[in-house]
Homo-oligomer: A and B are copies of this chain.
Amino acid sequence: MTEYRTLPAGTGAAVGIKQGQRIEIKLAHGLQVVDFWSMNAKDHGEYGSMPHCRNKWFRLSPRKGDSIVTNKRNPIVTFEEDSSTGGHDTLIPCCDSKRYGELGVKGYHRNCADNYKEALTAFGIEPPPLFLPINLFMQVPIGADGTLMIVPPRAKPGDRVVLRAEMDIVGIMSACPHDIFPLNGPDCKVNDVDYRVY
């Protein structure tokens, strides 16, 4: 069993996960949204696709036992455990430099889009064009008037998600650096996250 590693707040990492192995992502250091992308290790054009998941689940968000399916409609990872109350977001794209500019940030702000690219580059893979991640622990409730809201995670510190790989995959995580809205927690603070592959 692999030891836990720490993903520093606001940064990204890519890991290889063999079919049948698990990745556990754990809020060991406080509340934090973790953007998670999955990609077929042998075909980087096949990736976990939120639109195709909605067509499979007929829900916006996965429950324990649900698989993320790819753009080719194959299962890629399965939610084997989830100690949080779920509701992981599958609607909102990852943050990027332009988004922080729109939000009034001057100068460079770390962002999940760059984390995706840097993590894959460090892993030795030419980053494919970005696609919509599942935003673990992120909550986007829909109001009665149809308005999407972004509110703090309902998860508790210590909560964890375990995903089992259904094929050899590359998993990419970003501990979202967003500190403008309280999407990572009511205090707008970003935290480290622990993970392990086993």
Contacts and interface: CB of A to CB of B under 8 A. Distances in A.
Interface of A: 45, 49-52, 54-55, 57-61, 71-73, 91-93, 96, 98-99, 102, 129-130, 132, 142, 146-149
Contacts of A61: 146
Query: For the complex formed by this chain, how many copies does it contain in all?
Result: 2
Given A51-B93, A58-B149, 10 more contacts: A51-B92, A51-B132, A54-B148, A55-B92, A57-B148, A60-B91, A61-B146, A71-B93, A71-B130, A73-B98
16 contacts: A49-B93, A51-B91, A51-B93, A52-B93, A54-B91, A54-B92, A54-B148, A58-B149, A60-B91, A60-B142, A60-B148, A71-B93, A73-B98, A73-B102, A129-B129, A142-B142
B60 A146 contact: yes
B71 A99 contact: no
Nearest to A148: B58
Contacts of A59: 146-148
A72 B97 CA distance: 10
Nearest to A72: B98
Contacts of A72: 98
Nearest to A51: B93
Contact of A45 (B92, B98, B129): B129
Among A51, A52, A72, A130, which residue has the most Cβ atoms of chain B within 10 A? Answer: A51
A68 to B, nearest CB: 14
Contacts of A142: 60, 142
Nearest to A61: B146
Contacts of A146: 59-61
A99 B51 CA distance: 13
A129 B96 CA distance: 21
